[in-house]
Amino acid sequence: MLKAAEPSELHAYVVISLNTGIRTEEARALRWDHVVAWIPDLKKWQPVTEVGFKHKRFAIYVWRADRVGGDTKTRKSRRTLELPKLATQALRQHHARQAARKLKAGDAWQDHNLVFCTSIGTPLDAANVRRSFRRITKKAGIGTEWRPRELRHSFVSIMSDQGVPIETIADLVGHAGTSVTEAVYRHQLRPVITKGAHTMNTIFGDSRHG
């Protein structure tokens, strides 16, 4: 799917969503001044709108959402997420592409400072995002039933499969507690009942018997 998304204007949207687990309404509301780079000399994060992309570490402030009032779903949903290298690369390329679109649009460009926007800078419509995403999944050969929120579900599955504690997953996806994560993503979370047995097998060896 990531390969199929490369030519699409939604490429960075897909990569960021899959790599961070942010909600679709959070992705649509993300602003460039909430994309930040770590400046070692200052020991703090600075907006890329001020310091650019020539740095090693980047993060996003997930403080806004495409909701009534513009805030995230809950206060707990406000979080800072460091970006993996794949997401950083996609965002850097997206920034360059958007600059070219802005230049092409000229006076028609409406600057809302949005990371993900239309060809003239206006906010993305959720329905249009879904349609574009369906074209990507169809091209990827996984059908047209997928929705953008599936990227968040996939993020939880990947984290769980890699043994990331549910407490950490809950923090990453902006849940108030693990009970919400368990209730919403019960099919994505890997059962942990076998963790003890697997750990002991690793230590003592599968073939040893007491």
Which are the catalytic amino acids? Answer: 23, 73, 152, 175, 185
CA nearest to 67, candidates 174, 170, 197 = 174
What is the SS3 assignment for 51? helix
What are the E-state strand segments in the chain? 35-39, 44-47, 58-62, 79-82
DSSP 151-179: HHHHHHHHHHHTT--HHHHHHHHT-SSHH
Beta bridge partners of 177: none
Question: How many residues are given for the chain?
Answer: 210
For residues 84, 90, 96, 101, the Cα torsion angle rounded to the nearest 10 degrees is -140
Contacts of 84 (CB under 8 A, 6+ apart): 19
CA gap 141, 135 in Å, rounded: 10
